[in-house]
A = this chain, B = another copy of it.
Amino acid sequence: MAGPVLAIVGATGAVGTTMIEIIDARGSVPWGEIRLIASARSAGKVLKVRGEDVTVQALAPEVFDGVDIALFDVPDEISAEWAPIAASRGAVAVDNSGAFRMDPEVPLVVPEVNAEAAANRPKGIIANPNCTTLSMMAAMGALHREFGLEALVVASYQAASGAGQPGIDRLQAELSAVAGKDLGSRSGDVAAAVADLGDDSPFPAPLALNVVPWAGSLKDDGWSSEELKVRNESRKILGIPDLRVSATCVRVPVITTHALAVHATFSRDVTVEAAHKVLAAQPTIVLEDDPGAGVWPTPAAVVGQDPTHVGRVRQALDFPNTLELFVCGDNLRKGAALNTYEIAETIADQV
């Protein structure tokens, strides 16, 4: 087959599976061979890609021989070890872990915001942003180009699948445990209702009938790693080193699609009408903003779609040059698999 050779590392996970769905859904792709790579546990599985059986190979240095671009969706420590190995074997590693995102020698890329950054990759590694950050980047990039972004205050409504397949499985098990139980006007019995499921949850508290104000690990001064990613990655992607950012990251009982309430302050005058015009002109954004007709995005309606959906655009009444927005993006697609894949498309003719 002609075309660059693509490898998917972590092919059997929630994001890897979505990468294969994306490739299958594309009418034509630039790739020659597509190689599936996973842990030794999953090696030997046979998956369909473009209608053909592909056998999953175990992660090993030699599986990268001949690979032009390797998409990684594996834990941070696996990426930290293996992305450089893939690069040393001649592949460009496009990595969806947190291992390289803030490395100054690794570009952090959202194609519709900073595609040009992908060309400068001294380590042969390009990083894909965190899914929460990514959910708003298409919208923030477009608005920044027009109005000059200065500050973001963000509250997230993050889906269970941000914690991968174990997150999905746990939420569904908890839902089955609480559904039909008469909790009256109380949801306080949630902990009791899910107790039989045991403590083996990717979430630090029950998620069914609850929201959990924690994602990631503890960093300095009470911040979660997820909240600092939103700050630091937004600065790097948008190229605004002094962007002011405060985020509160909260997990909600949604299976897939992150939502964000965003309070965005600009250096130039901004109106709802002008923002609508900018957002509606973006090919990767769907503007859904007619609250009188019940039109705004929700995670359940956006899931499975490629574009970022934006609604509830309001001019802040008491803050100059400031908009409020509600943004929904499928965290497995644009938030992970899709953007990683789009980075590969962006550099397909460079490898």
Residues of A within 8 A of B (CB): 14, 17-18, 151, 153, 155, 157, 159, 161, 165, 168, 172, 175-176, 178-180, 183, 185-188, 190-191, 204-206, 209-214, 218, 221-224, 231, 243-246, 248, 250, 252-257, 259, 261, 263, 272, 289, 291-292, 294, 296-301, 303-304, 311-319, 322, 324, 326, 332
Contacts and interface: CB of A to CB of B under 8 A. Distances in A.
A176 B209 CA distance: 12
B185 A256 contact: yes
Contact of A317 (B214, B218, B231, B326): B231
A162 to B, nearest CB: 11
For the complex of A and B, 5 pairs with smallest distance between CB atoms: A179-B179, A155-B155, A244-B318, A210-B300, A155-B261
Given A272-B222, A314-B221, A298 B245 contact: no
Q: How many copies does the complex hold?
A: 2
Contact of A222 (B161, B183, B314): B314
A263 B244 CA distance: 13
A252 B157 contact: yes
B178 A324 contact: no
Contacts of A168: 185
Contacts of A250: 157, 259, 261, 326
B248 A312 contact: yes
A312 B227 CA distance: 12
Contacts of A272: 221-222
A246 B317 CA distance: 7
- Which among A190, A221, A248 has the greatest number of chain B C-beta atoms within 10 A? A248
A179 B187 contact: no
A209 B248 contact: no
A254 to B, nearest CB: 6
Nearest to A235: B318
B291 A256 contact: no
A221 B153 contact: no
A222 B179 contact: no
A225 B17 CA distance: 42
A183 B218 contact: no
A222 B218 CA distance: 37
19 contacts: A151-B318, A157-B250, A159-B187, A161-B185, A176-B179, A178-B179, A187-B300, A188-B301, A188-B304, A209-B299, A210-B298, A211-B298, A221-B314, A223-B314, A231-B317, A246-B316, A250-B261, A250-B326, A261-B261
